[in-house]
Amino acid sequence: MIKEIAFTVYPAKDVKKLADFYAGVLGLNLTNKFEEDGKLQYAEFTVGKDGYFGVMPSEWMDREPGSASGIGFEVEDIEAWLKTLESKGVKIEKPYDTPVCRISSILDPEGNKVTFHQTTVAH
């Protein structure tokens, strides 16, 4: 029986560069990393109380960089968040509404889709 999602990982050609984007631009907290032969091979970020998001070499995942699209980060104020990203030079997708939320996405430096979500109706 599945009891929860343990983590989500995105593929990267350059793990360090992508980890720097998630930490520096998106402000995620890097809490775990694995280096091999002096090269960063895995970077993991704690998201919220019990969530984990990581990046690792595409060879380890057998997925090409830019092929991931499943992460959705909850934000408190999506309009303010998108303005912050734009001020950092990040190109954002026009936000749109659903019956329960407001959503927008970006592409990370390797082309993976990253979605931002603000709940508007409890569900």
Q: Tens digit of pLDDT for each residue in 47-89?
A: 998 899 999 999 999 999 999 999 999 999 999 999 999 999 9
Neighbouring residues of 27: CB distance < 8 A, sequence distance ≥ 6: none
pLDDT, position 61: 94
H/E element, 116 = strand 113-119
Domains identified in the chain and CATH numbers: 8-119 (3.10.180.10)
What is the reported pTM? Answer: 0.93
Q: 70 with 8: CB under 8 angstroms?
A: yes
